[in-house]
Amino acid sequence: MAPSFSAGVLGYESPTVSLSDLKGRTVVLYFYPKDDTPGCTREACDFRDAFEPLKRAGVVVLGVSRDSLESHGKFVKKYDLNFPLLSDPDGAICTAYGVLKEKNMYGRKSIGIERTTVVIGADGTIRKIYPKVKVDGHVAQIMSFLGL
């Protein structure tokens, strides 16, 4: 079973969302490092552009980062994103899904999100994990996996 979660969210019917709220639906839970950075923006815009066929198929797309709801709000507005972004400031969801990894940038080590996508089936089981995601072509890869 996929780890349960509950988090503050923008772009959803309520101010929080939990995995149990989505039982019976396929969920694409994509973890990304930071709002409004080049790779994360490309990935978000790719999900935005593929949103309608995913929605018609009953698929819920949720983006997750450690950014605040305020940061998410600016990101959503700037790029006209049409799916919810979950705020995980304490990293609880990221930890549950094993996406926090040590990174080494310019000789400095830090813990950050490794770009990862998890496809959760309508029954709550993990159907597919895409670790170390390369942005180019990733959304098409997910759509193919889902038969869309």
Q: Is 94 a catalytic residue?
A: no
Which tokens belong to 19? 């995995």
- Evaluate whether 97 touches 55 at the Cβ level (below 8 Å): no
State how far the Cα of 110 lies from the Cα of 132, in Å rounded to an integer: 17
Query: How many of the other CB atoms lie within 10 Å of CB of 117?
Result: 24
Point out the catalytic residue in the list 9, 17, 40, 64: 40
State how far the Cα of 104 lies from the Cα of 73, in Å rounded to an integer: 29
State how far the Cα of 148 lies from the Cα of 135, in Å rounded to an integer: 19
Query: In this structure, what is the dihedral angle of CA atoms 135, 131, 63, 8, given to the nearest 10 degrees?
Result: -150
Residues with catalytic function: 40
